[in-house]
Structure formats: C-alpha cells, structure tokens
Chain A
Amino acid sequence: MNKLDTLPKKKILSLFMTCGFPTLDQSKKIFNEILSHQPDIIEFGLPFSDPMADGPIIQEANKLALRSKLSTQKSLNLITELSKSKNNTAFVIMCYLNTIRKFGLNKFIKNIKSIVDGIIIVDLPFEEEGEIKKSLSKNNIHLIKLISPMTDKKRSKKLLKDSKGFIYYISATGITGSNRLDYKEINKNVQSIKKMSSVPVLVGFGIKSKKDVVNISNKTKADGVIIGSALIQKYFDLKMDFNKYLKKLNKFIKEVKV
C-alpha cells in the first residue's frame, strides 16, 4: 500500500532533509530524530553537484554530503535502513534526473520500490516524463507534480491529469529558501489547483517558522506544508555544533507540528 494515498485531510507536514548531510553517520541521527516525530511525509534529498533549482542552504548541504563521498547507493541504503521504523510516515525521494539516469532507472526503482512512496524529480518536466512515469507507476511509486506561480491554467490542467500522492505548490517564484510569502496569491493558486485535482496540495519553498505554517493553514486552502531549508539552516546558525543542532531540530519540529 502507498502511504501517500492515506494522508490526513488537513495540516499535512512534510519535512525535507538532504541525505548524507553533514556526514553519513550524522545524517542517520538526523533522520532518526525527524522520524521520531512521525511527520506525515519525509522527503529525502539526494545530493547533486549542480542543484540548479535549490537555494544556497540546500546547495551547501549537498556540497557537505558529497564531500564526505556520499554515493547514490549509500543514500538509498540509508533510506532502506530507516524504512524499517517508518510506521505511518510516507517516504518521498527528491532528486535531479541525472542521478537516476546514471544509476540506471530500473536498478533505481528496484532499490526503492516497497520502501519509497513517491518521488520528485526536480528537473523532469511533464514534457519529458514518459518512460519514467510509466515505470514508476508500475511499481506503485507516485511521481509528484510541481506547480509554480508561472504555470498557467491550461498547463496546470495537462500537468495535473491523473496526478497522485500530493501536489507540490511552489509558493514563491523562487528557489528553495527564498523569503517572500504572498498568502493571497498562494491561496488563489491553491484554490485553482484544487478545482482541477482531488489530491492534497502542499505548499513549499520559503516556509521558515511556526508562524508561516499557521498562516498557510489559516489563510489558504492548502492541505499542508513542506519545510526544507529552514531545517538545514539551523545547523549553520549553530555554527555546525551537531549536538546542539539535534536538540534544536527536536524543538523546531515540535513547534511546526501544529
């Protein structure tokens, strides 16, 4: 069964974290901490050398992970290990296409089926998805769709046809970690998406605090939020003191679980 098919009706929380950041061992501890809060979804970012659609914080996380020689296989092993205690949390992989291509699509799917519920391939637009979508769907892995404020109605309609899991609405026309949240615009676009699709709509990019989460919940019709950069940022705020970071993470996740 795909855990993304049984998401709660409201206030869905999805937490994004880069695999292998800052090192593989520490990354395990971070994910165990995240998992202990049983968020609805965890997004596992596979590090890429050229994360074109990510902001400086996730870029830095990718760099640190790659510096400690993290391979795709090691990331997938980490996710597999964590899946043993996943309970009701849905697992989603977020990555760039070149990672999958180089690893081999079939081998990749073989590694993640029955462990991962969904996948976001950041640089795979709807026009290019053909084969990949078919193979994923055969293995009951949902290909998550991204919608941006620049996506017009006509395009959204095409994109959202038979969408599964959830829809990732990019809240700011910006890269992950940017800081302008325009609730009116978000709400307008979320409502328009909801007219075209019945799967939950999550708002991501630029969600930083409990206040943002509450505002999204109160001021928009979105079904939940995705938090990524803000989780990673704390590590740098704390001058890379790992023990302090774990504690901070615990506190922060409790806060945003509204």
Chain B
Amino acid sequence: MKKYKQPSTIGRFGEFGGMYVSETLMPLLLNLDKSYKKIQKDKKFKKELNDLFKNYVGRPSSLHYAKNLSKYINGPKVYFKRDELNHTGAHKINNCLGQILLAKKMGKTRIIAETGAGQHGVATATVCALFGLPCYIYMGSKDIERQKPNVFRMKLLGATIIPVESGSKSLKDAMNEALRDWIKNVRDTFYIIGSTAGPHPYPKMVRDFQSVIGKEAREQILKVEKKLPDYLIACVGGGSNAMGLFYPFLNDKNVKIIGVEAAGKGAKTEETAATMTSGTPGILHGSYSYVLQDNDGQIKEAHSISAGLDYPGVGPEHSHLKDIKRVKYFGVTDKEALKAFQTCSKLEGIIPALEPSHALAYLIKAFKNKHKNKVVILNMCGRGDKDLFTAAKAIGFDADE
C-alpha cells in the first residue's frame, strides 16, 4: 500500500474537497491556508497547544477497557477512547483550541461558529471565554429546542446565540448563516468550523487538530495490548472525531476501520442523515463530497435524533476513504442508537452522547458473538448530559420534574 498523503496542496482528497466559495471568501481562505501552514512549523504554537491540551482539556484522555460491554457482546475486546472526559464533554474542544490560537496569531478579534448538538458551540464559547474574544454562535432553532442545556451553557460562557430560522433550522442552515456572517465581516472575523467539512483548508486543519485522539490511542493500545487494534469504530457527522481517531492509523493496513452514520428512520427512507450510504457526490458548504440531494442537486434535509449527526453532508476525506475502500461506512437508526445509549449506560456506567451511541449500536449489532480475540477501539467522543431530555422523551420517561 502506498503511504497515505492527503490532501493535495489545493485541498483535494482524491477528487473530493476543494474550495467552492464566492470570490468574497476566496482570498480569506487562501490567507487562512497560508497562516495555517506557517503555524504548523511554529514550535511555540505547538507547545502552547499541548499545554492547553494537558492542563485545560485534561489530555491525554484515557483508554478504558469496557469489560462488561465486551462480555455482553461476546466478541472482541472493546476499548473506549474516552474523549467524553474532556473539558466541555466532547472531542470538539481539541479543534477549537487549535483554531483560536491560529485566530489570535492572525490578529482576528471576533469569533463565529455554527453548532448542531451545541457541543461545538460550547467548546467555541469556552475557548472564547478563555482568550477573551467575543463569540457568536449560529444555531438552528430546531436544535436550540432540543439541546437546551448546551444553549444555557453557551450563554453562561458569554456567547451570543443567533437562532437560524432558514431551511431545516438545523446544522446545515447554521453553517450557511455563519458563512454569510463571515462574508460580511471578513476583516475582523475568524470562523471556527466544527467539523472536517467546509472548504479547504478546514477539512485538513480540523483533522490535524483532532488527530491527537488517534495518536494517543495508538500509544495507549500498544502499551496495554502490545499490538495495534484490529478495528477502529467512530460515528461520522461531519467527520471530525472519526478522522481524529482514524488518521494516525490509515497506513496500518491491518487495522480495519469503520465509520457509522446516522440513518434516522432508516437509510432508505427520506428521514436519514446517512450521507455516504444514501447520498451522491455534490457540492455543499464549499466542498465536493457525498451529500444528500435530489435529482436537481437541491440539498435535502437530514434527519437524526442526534443533532450532532443531523447533517446532509460529510467531510471530503471520508468520501475519499470510502471510494478507495480504506474505511467502510454503515448506517444506524435512531432506534438502534437509543437502545445502545441505554445498554452502555447500564453496563459500563458511562452515559454516552447520542452521537457515539450510533457507533456503539453498530458495534453491538455487527460484532455480537463474532470476532473473538480481536481488539476494537471505539471513539467515545461525547458524553450524554446534553441528550438527557431528548433521550428521556424518546424512551418515554417524564424528565420534566
């Protein structure tokens, strides 16, 4: 196998990716790309980021052997890479710290971000509080409704939340509005994109910042198991936690890699967010990648019980990894994810977010009574606190009192 080396200098992962934005944004992206390249060689930047990872986020996150779940599955040994223990409760903070340090270096004085589940919004609001920068978060009104705890968190952290009423009122539309904000305020504003989506250099930059997950996991598993894992499993919304775990293993050809998408009510129904299972290549948010679209190229609305996976697109690198067959992608329904959410809580004493519950559901389903003596690392990329109300409602538990 040839050594994996993506993207190209113009942000192509194979044929995917690129920069499909208007001329009002193009100069900014090129400038961002230049600044990012420069900072990658900057030792001081690296040290600053590593210090924050260690002392502010609590990295490295632990690698937990999920004994009870492994027993229940009666298959492989399952390890959780516990990024849900990070400060702010998900992997999103890794990327936000990297980007805000870059924003500082570029002299930007105003931060904007989009959010779906609110995890990226909370992480962005957090780093803005830490660095004393004003923070504006675009969030679909549908998501504001279903992620109330995170809305309150962002407000406490001093962020301004701008509700988005257009389109499906969720993540896709929040991203449209954030991009429009950026076009209007190009001079002072830095846009912290929360996933490996959007135009170049975001997919690469976010992957690089998140790949701390995979680097740590690699060292940790080598220490306890004296070998590389046989499987990696992660959920895929835009794809950042998955790329973070996968990237440092892409050249290890014996490591099989699985990405799990949200299939909503079923990958074959109209109410799905399984972009790579049900979508076709197209352009959304400045990037060429798989996308849910109709015959006229109009982007469809996605559906998932998990706000963080409720996105009709996916990062271009995942599209590439799918096409070269390095990673296999599967869909998991709302119902399956909810069940895994409960199973994991009971068996491991860990309440997962609904996003990694999708990865868990696939693991339980596909590995049951199979793959004994194998080792799996699952990215536990977020904790379930934010989802308690949604889950309670779906399960039929009255959580109001």
Which residues from chain A sit less than 8 Å from chain B, CB to CB?
48-50, 52-53, 55, 59, 63, 66, 71-72, 96-99, 101-103, 122-128, 145-148, 150-152, 155, 159, 170, 173-175, 178
Would you give the shortest CB distance from A70 to chain B, in whole angstroms?
A: 9
A63 to B173 alpha-carbon distance, docked (Å): 13
- Please tell me if B283 contacts chain A, counting CB pairs below 8 Å: yes
Are B20 and A123 in contact, CB atoms less than 8 angstroms apart?
A: yes
Residues in chain B near residue A126, CB distance under 8 A? 26
Given contacts A148-B23, A174-B24, 16 further A-B contacts (CB under 8 A): A48-B297, A48-B298, A50-B167, A50-B299, A59-B166, A98-B282, A122-B22, A125-B20, A127-B10, A146-B22, A150-B24, A150-B27, A150-B28, A173-B24, A173-B186, A175-B180
| Interface-central residue, A63, A122, A145, A175, by most chain B CB under 10 Å | A175
| Interface-central residue, B21, B26, B167, B285, by most chain A CB under 10 Å | B26
Sample 20 A-B pairs with CB under 8 A, ordered by A number: A48-B298, A50-B285, A52-B21, A52-B22, A53-B180, A63-B166, A71-B296, A98-B297, A99-B297, A102-B282, A102-B293, A123-B20, A123-B286, A125-B19, A125-B20, A125-B21, A145-B23, A148-B27, A150-B28, A170-B23
Would you give the shortest CB distance from A230 to chain B, in whole angstroms?
A: 18
Q: Main secondary structure on chain B at its contact with chain A?
A: loop
Would you give the shortest CB distance from B182 to chain A, in whole angstroms?
A: 10
From 279 to 305 in chain B, residues with beta carbon under 8 angstroms from any chain A beta carbon are 282-286, 293, 295-299
Residue of A nearest to B27 (CB): A150
Residues in chain B near residue A98, CB distance under 8 A? 282-284, 293, 297, 299
A148 to B25 alpha-carbon distance, docked (Å): 9
Are A155 and B27 in contact, CB atoms less than 8 angstroms apart?
A: yes
Assuming A98-B284, A101-B282, A103-B297, is B20 touching A175 (CB within 8 A)?
Answer: no
Are B282 and A53 in contact, CB atoms less than 8 angstroms apart?
A: no
Contact partner of A125 among B23, B184, B293, CB < 8 A?
B23
Are B283 and A97 in contact, CB atoms less than 8 angstroms apart?
A: yes
| Interface-central residue, A96, A99, A127, by most chain B CB under 10 Å | A127
A134 to B142 alpha-carbon distance, docked (Å): 44
A180 to B172 alpha-carbon distance, docked (Å): 28
Would you give the shortest CB distance from A197 to chain B, in whole angstroms?
A: 15
Are B172 and A50 in contact, CB atoms less than 8 angstroms apart?
A: yes
- Please tell me if B62 contacts chain A, counting CB pairs below 8 Å: no
Residues in chain A near residue B296, CB distance under 8 A? 71-72, 99, 102-103
From 139 to 198 in chain B, residues with beta carbon under 8 angstroms from any chain A beta carbon are 166-167, 172, 176, 179-180, 183-184, 186-187
A55 to B176 alpha-carbon distance, docked (Å): 11
Would you give the shortest CB distance from A150 to chain B, in whole angstroms?
A: 4
A124 to B23 alpha-carbon distance, docked (Å): 8
Are B186 and A96 in contact, CB atoms less than 8 angstroms apart?
A: no
Residues in chain A near residue B26, CB distance under 8 A? 125-127, 148, 150-151, 155
Residue of B nearest to A180 (CB): B184
A218 to B296 alpha-carbon distance, docked (Å): 43
